[in-house]
């Protein structure tokens, strides 16, 4: 398996279409991707897994500041986690997670953050969190306002010395990923 990193700004139309097709295969026609390689907003970096040149896995990474209560912290957010249905169970997502953790650990980020329900995440060191999360809502390519509430899918992995504040409101300072 080959894993490649591509900065969002460097994606070609062909790569963008290839990722969009993988997301549609992984999540289904009705998942809201259409012909896009992202759900609500473009990311910063894509990690792609290939077997014999064929795209079989994808993680999108967003690098940004967020607010954790009164404190500003840096995170790498993970979105669009996808494995081709014909290649599930072959360690693709695990390999992408390892590459993601290595990449995020080499940044200035304090935490690696994602919203997900799969056991893969907690098995790789992520802790489930119950914070109130605030973010910009997006629906049908339109901003819908600021949304706030507890998100049971929030998972966090500490990368630096700062500890996660379980009681703080988490403001993503933009859309979710």
> What number of CA atoms fall less than 13 Å from residue 43's CA on the CB side?
28
Query: Is 123:131 a contact under the CB 8 Å cutoff?
Result: no
What is the per-residue pLDDT across 105-140, written as a single tens digit (0 to 9) for each? 999 999 999 998 877 687 789 999 999 999 999 888
Average pLDDT over residues 72-94: 95
Domain that holds residue 111: 2-175
Residue 98's pLDDT band (boundaries 50, 70, 90)? very high
Q: Which residues does 152 contact at the CB level (< 8 Å), separation at least 6?
A: 128, 130
Q: How many domains does the chain have?
A: 1
The conformation of residue 30, written as its DSSP 8-state character, comes to: G
CATH of the domain at 63: 3.40.630.30
pTM score, whole prediction:
0.91
Residue 81 has pLDDT above 80, yes or no: yes
Q: How far apart are CA 127 and CA 84, in angstroms?
A: 26
Q: How far apart are CA 27 and CA 24, in angstroms?
A: 5
Average pLDDT over residues 129-153: 93
Mean pLDDT, the chain, integer? 93
Token pair 């994606």: residue: 11
């Amino acid at each position: 398996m080959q894993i490649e990193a591509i900065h969002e700004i460097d994606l070609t139309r062909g790569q963008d279409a290839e990722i969009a097709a993988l997301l549609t295969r992984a999540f289904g026609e009705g998942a809201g991707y259409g012909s896009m390689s992202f759900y609500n907003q473009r990311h910063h970096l894509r990690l792609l897994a290939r077997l014999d040149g064929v795209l079989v896995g994808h993680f999108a990474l967003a690098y940004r500041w967020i607010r954790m209560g009164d404190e500003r912290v840096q995170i790498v957010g993970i979105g669009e986690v996808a494995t081709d249905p014909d290649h599930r169970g072959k360690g693709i997502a695990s390999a992408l997670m390892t590459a993601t953790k290595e990449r995020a650990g080499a940044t200035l980020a304090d935490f690696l953050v994602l919203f997900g329900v799969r056991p893969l995440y907690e098995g790789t060191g992520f802790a489930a969190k119950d914070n109130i999360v605030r973010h910009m809502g997006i629906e049908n390519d339109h901003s819908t306002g600021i949304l706030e509430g507890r998100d049971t899918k929030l998972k966090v992995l500490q990368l630096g010395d700062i500890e996660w504040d379980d009681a703080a409101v988490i403001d993503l300072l933009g859309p979710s990923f």
